[in-house]
Chains A and B, each alone.
Chain A
Amino acid sequence: MADPVVIVGAGPAGLRAAETLARAGIVPIVLDEAERPGGQIYRQPPPAAARDASAVYGFEARKAEAIHRVLDACAGRIDYRPRTLVWNVFGNRLDVLSRDGHSELSFDRLLLATGAMDRVLPFPGWTLPGVTTLGGAQIALKSQGVAIGERVAFVGGGPLLPLVVHQYAKAGVQIVAALDATPFAAKVAQVAGLATAPATFAKGLWYTARNRLRGVNAASAIRALRAEGNGRVEALVWRDASGAEHRVACDAIGASFGLRPEAQLADLAGCRFVHQRESQLWLPERSAEGRSSVAHVYLAGDGASIGGADVAELQGRRTALALLTDLGRDVDAREAARLDRALARQARFRRSLDAAYPFPRHLVEAVDDAELVCRCEGITAGTLRAAVRERGADEANRAKALTRVGMGRCQGRVCGEAAAALIAQCASADVERIGRLRAQPPVKPIPIVAGAA
């Protein structure tokens, strides 16, 4: 039998791609780490913790339910394999870990829809119990119905901030601060561009307005922040745009600064990466139709570039059409053109959104030498700076080899962007010249027992 088409990821991009392939008579294998389909944005609570969709997803309930229905609607035409980690790509073979143990899986075509995680920047106290990412705070509430604390402060640098504040306020949690590291002026400057996706922009405004109505202590363009506490979070301290310091008692902090793609598998597949100046992220090269730089490897959704859930659905569909074309199948040209137009509209909106939330480099550059950059292994900013100054480590992988920054369990997911910004500052070089951490298998920790099986 010929090797299958394999999709990695069962979020909006992966599931729409699978659906499109299934409709064309191809039975794709969908591998996903989670217990249930939906990805992170439309993550489903465990069955025993299930709640009404409108309570979990708010405005997005209809979209979430539609995504969750894809597998049922395509029953028997999508080979869905949950609880399955793909930890390596080698040629046309995947190394896979599931509940049944370890196996290999060869593919004819590979479509990576691996999603995103929060972009993290270190600040004093960021490893204290009680500090999570914004996405983490959101997942705790959506998936488990728990709040990260009683009195919660949120800090962000992207559109997730007002959304999480809104969701926590709606859940009745006391919010003591909502701080944006990016300037409000950047958003005002982008109003025209943001309005190109009216539904999305209106929704953002609505969240912001509701937040203000609830009397949340909000500020933009904050210059510095720090978490304080003895063994756990007890306060958040920040310096505002004028330099004045503020302190608020809290028992939890959700803080992260935009999103970053989970692109390790694309890296291992040999995909070429490009540095995107606006977002300050390294992204696997992707054509508008979803082809990567490697034949037989396709990319869709936030795992390739940050576009959000709606873009992920569109890209999933469009990329599946490109894959079908490459397999010699007839595809509906009008459908492809319709998707291309929708994606072009979304891309204009995204450019404005990226400009509205510039990378808050000042927060990284202000990090004290004593502060941890690598939370996996406890490597400080001072160690990293010394490696740059004294040992010429002005490239990401060289700095990793000398300091272990990026070598811990998270494989640089958490520290990578911050480390690059610190190295760039220290070497007085553009961050693009610092390069990016190369992915290494396994992309996540796997039990040695399973590896040896």
Chain B
Amino acid sequence: MAGLLRRAVERRSADVPITIDGVSVRAKEGDLLITAVLLHRSSLRKFEFGPGDRAGFCWMGACQDCWVALADGRRVRACTTIVEPGMAVLVEHADVAGDRHG
């Protein structure tokens, strides 16, 4: 599946290995999680109240559209989270809505 984003500026940063729904991809050091995922995928999560997917919107931590689930149980806002080695992002099978109930 082609990603939404494309790198307009190439940079030589160290690779950061992560997985998206179990598939290994390489992010770069200094990538935000929203960047790392959307370079490879077209969405961050399923919309929990209706059809369709979501892929973030404001990129400044205001709209709260880009919350993603990690396999370790964490839920993070992808536009304010720097990618870390080993992050395992769940797009298709996550329950991001779970944070509404603690």
Please give the residue numbers on chain A whose beta carbons come within 8 Å of chain B beta carbons, in ascending order. 33-35, 40, 45-51, 55, 117-118, 120, 127-133, 135-137, 139-141, 143-150, 171-173, 231-232, 251-252, 262, 372, 375-378, 408-410, 413-414, 444-445, 447-448
On whether the beta carbons of A444 and B61 are closer than 8 Å, the reply is yes
On whether the beta carbons of A414 and B8 are closer than 8 Å, the reply is no
Shortest beta-carbon distance, A303 to chain B, in Å?
A: 12
CB of B53 within 8 Å of the partner chain: yes
Which residues of A have CB within 8 Å of B59? 132-133, 135-137, 139-140, 143
On whether the beta carbons of B43 and A33 are closer than 8 Å, the reply is no
Which residues of B have CB within 8 Å of A141? 8
State the interface size on chain B (CB cutoff 8 A).
43
B49's contact among A46, A150, A377, by CB below 8 Å, is which?
A377
Known contacts A414-B63, A444-B64; is-contact A51 B11 (Cβ 8 Å):
yes
Which residues of B have CB within 8 Å of A118? 58
CB closest residue in chain B, given A56: B9
Known: A51-B9, A149-B6. 7 other contacts (CB 8 A): A33-B61, A35-B82, A46-B32, A129-B55, A378-B49, A445-B67, A445-B77
Dominant SS among interface residues on chain B: loop
A176 to B7, CA, bound (A): 18
Known contacts A35-B82, A48-B29, A445-B99; is-contact A136 B58 (Cβ 8 Å):
yes
Task: In the A-B complex, list the 7 residue pairs whose CB atoms are closest, starting with the nearest.
Answer: A48-B30, A49-B30, A145-B9, A129-B55, A409-B64, A136-B59, A378-B49
A145 to B12, CA, bound (A): 12
A49 to B28, CA, bound (A): 9
On whether the beta carbons of B62 and A173 are closer than 8 Å, the reply is no
Shortest beta-carbon distance, B101 to chain A, in Å?
A: 9
On whether the beta carbons of A130 and B42 are closer than 8 Å, the reply is yes
